[in-house]
Structures are given as C-alpha cells and as structure tokens.
Structure 1
Amino acid sequence: MTRALVLGASGGIGAALVARLQAQGAEVTALSRSRDGLDLTRADTVAGHAARLEGQVFDLIVNTTGALVIDGHGPEKSMDAVDPQAMAAQFALNAIGPALAFRHFAPLLARDRWAVMASLSARVGSIGDNDLGGWVSYRAAKAAQNQIIRTAAIEYRRRNRHAILVALHPGTVETPLTAKYAARYPTITPDRSAEALLAVIAGLTPEDTGSFWDWKGARVPW
C-alpha cells in the first residue's frame, strides 16, 4: 500500500489529492494550517510536525501550500508597484516555506524503493517562459522555490538514490487563489488537476529528480 503525506491538505488541490489518493487505496496523512497548525512560514510548526512523524516512511509527499494574494496584496502589474513587505511575504510562504518542507519532510521518504516529494510551483515562476512581465513578487518567489527544489534534489540524490524531488505546475485551477485572476485563462477543477498530477508523478523515475513538470506531463523550462 502506498503511504502518502499531503501538506496543505485543506486547500482545493490538497483536498482533491487526498481524496484521489484514498480512492486509489493509499494510506494518507493529511496536514494543513487550518486543521493541524502546520504553517510553512513558521519553522517551529514545520519541525514539530516532522518530528511527530519520525519513524514513519512515505512513498509520496506533496506540498500543496502557497498563495497568490497575501494580506490583501495581489500580483503587481509592473515593477513600479513592487512593495518590499509584500514581496517578503511572498518569499516567506512560496519559497522559504517549501525549503523548510523539504528540509524536514524529505528525510521521511522511503530509501529502499521509488519515492517522490513534489511541491506545487507555477509556470509563471519559469524564467525561460516569461514573455509578459508583471507579477514580480509571485514570479520571483516561485522561481526561488524552483531553485530550492533543484538544489535539494542534487543533495538528496547523494543521500537517497531512490528519491525523486520535483516541482509541479498544477494548471490554472478553479480555487479561491485564482478566482480573481483566472477569467482570461482556461481553468480546470481541483479534481482534474489532482488526477493529472498523480499521473505525472506515477511516470517519474530517479533520472527525473530536480525537474519541473506541468499537469499535462510536459517539462517546464526553468
């Protein structure tokens, strides 16, 4: 039986992943800020939850936490709108948070078989795929997360040859995170995103560690 850990399990995509995994017969541990007090912007809560799981082994860990709008600050339309505090908040949740998640939870991955830790990034965090500009803080924080995952993958390859660490773009999903900004883009439901992401994850091999994939199974440029 697959053992999975979902971080941010009360959100739209997180809840859909939990439901999909359970329907597939997986044993799922679900953690979230609202239900369990797991706050990726607070290192003590990340370390505390990881310590409570010490001794457990997971085949799959997925971090689904993140936010586009924080404390009322939405994505900037231009560099002129950059606010240092809003940018710092983006980095705290969307970059430093995942770094803490990989630091504390990746050691729980199985070492004797295929195992994956994935984190939800965003295509707008791709430096190579940026032709529009804008959304400076969110883009930069997600780009930083991508670098963190790439670096963590190199390190964990030395510790655990079976571990696969990847960034995933879940698509433009119909959740409160995208509601105000998704009108111009095709959207998918959280359940469709979860189904697609799990299919992408199932096809990964250790050679894919440190890579970035979208929900359709295509690599995303860094």
Structure 2
Amino acid sequence: TLLQIDAFKEDNPLLVMSSGADWSISSKEQLVSNYPHITFFDFYGTSELSFVSYLSSNDFLQKPSSVGRPFSSIQVEVRRPDQSVCQPNETGRIYVKSPMTFSGYLHEEKPPQEWLTVYDMGWLDEDGYLYMSGRENGMIVYGGLNIFPEEIERVLNEQPEVKRSIVVGVPDPYWGEIPVAILEQVQQIKVVRQAVKEKLAAYKVPKKWLMIDQMMETSGGKIARVSMKRWAEEQLSCKR
C-alpha cells in the first residue's frame, strides 16, 4: 500500500523495518529499485521464538528469497527426522536456541527445551542464510513428493490478478493428496495458471482451481486455513 501511494518519494534517508506477515519479493525489489535512499530490514520470528533472523536490503540483493541470517545471540539448526543436522541446502525442520524464547504454554507443566521448534521447515545455505519452505503440518504429500503450500502461495500472490490465495491438500485415491488452489475474486484465471506453470516444477502446480468471493477468516483477520480446506473438499466432492 505504501508503494502504491508513493510514500517514499522524498530523498531523505529512511529506514524501513518489517516483521510479521510475509513481505513479497516483488515488493522488496520495487522498493530497492525505485528508492535507493531507503534501507530496509525484514525480520523472521514467531510468538514462541521471538526474533530469529533478519534480512537487510543489501543482503536482499544477493539472497532475495532468504529470510536472512540469525541474530548474533541466536543459533539455528536444520534437522532431519532422526535429529541429525542437515547439510547446507537440505530441507528439514528448523530448530532455534535463543535467550529470547518464551517461558512455555499456559497449563503446560513441561518447560521448553533448550532447542525449540515451531515445526517450520526450511534450509540453511552455505553462507548461513535461512530459507523457509513452509509449515510441516501443512505439507502436502503428492505421490510421495513433498509440497509446501506456502511456496505455491508466494507465486500466486505475486500475480497482480490475485487478491488473496490459499493452497490446501485434498485427499485423492491415487495420489494420496493433491494441491488445490483457492483464489479470491480472480477474473483472469488462465493468466494466473500460466504464471504458476512457468515458475514452479510440474508436480507443484495445483491440480484443481477454485474461486471464492470472500475467504473465510479467523478472528484475527487471517485466512482460516482449516475452514478453507474443508470448504475445498466439499466443493470438489459436489463436482464428482
């Protein structure tokens, strides 16, 4: 929105900081290209872990899809299911050791462990920069291949024709699960489909596409993923 209203047209040096919602690569590119007097820092973190990593505008030029480097007081490891540490560029579950982690969940007697995970999946590159794949509990297993809905959603939400999108896994008797894209108020669906085909591996391209006038939302205004998954299953069962 700030880019749309040209809020940064003044030439005075300015620092922009962002955390919370995912900041699209195209928006960052626009900021860096059009406003060289601006420096930005984009942060990755969670409620349980607090701030984990940061990406500066200078880092972005070299590592555009990364969520940055861990802060100096924080250690990050990416682990396999057997808890062994992954090699650089190998996807696994992200674990964090930090002095800023939370003290525990309400009514849970067991204190947090030294290394914590919120079941985010991703990888570290050879330079120590962190990359996000998605949430482990949202992963779609399509014919034995792992698909993270967030990766597809990033591509969808980069398209100017897309207002909002969500990708869910729907049970399939042959493939196990198939990725299904749900788009809010989209007219040019063929254009969106073609863009996804050009940017993603064939097995990651949604196998079904659904349109909806208004996404179901949580009380906090976010897309209600569980409700949307249930809606998609109902819609597809009606079409069979």
Whether TM-score is above 0.5 comes out as: no
- TM-score tier (shorter): under 0.3
Bigger share in helix: 1
- Structure with more relative contact order (C-alpha pairs < 8 Å, separation 6 or more): 1
Larger Rg belongs to = 2
TM-score by length of 1: 0.28
TM-score by length of 2: 0.27
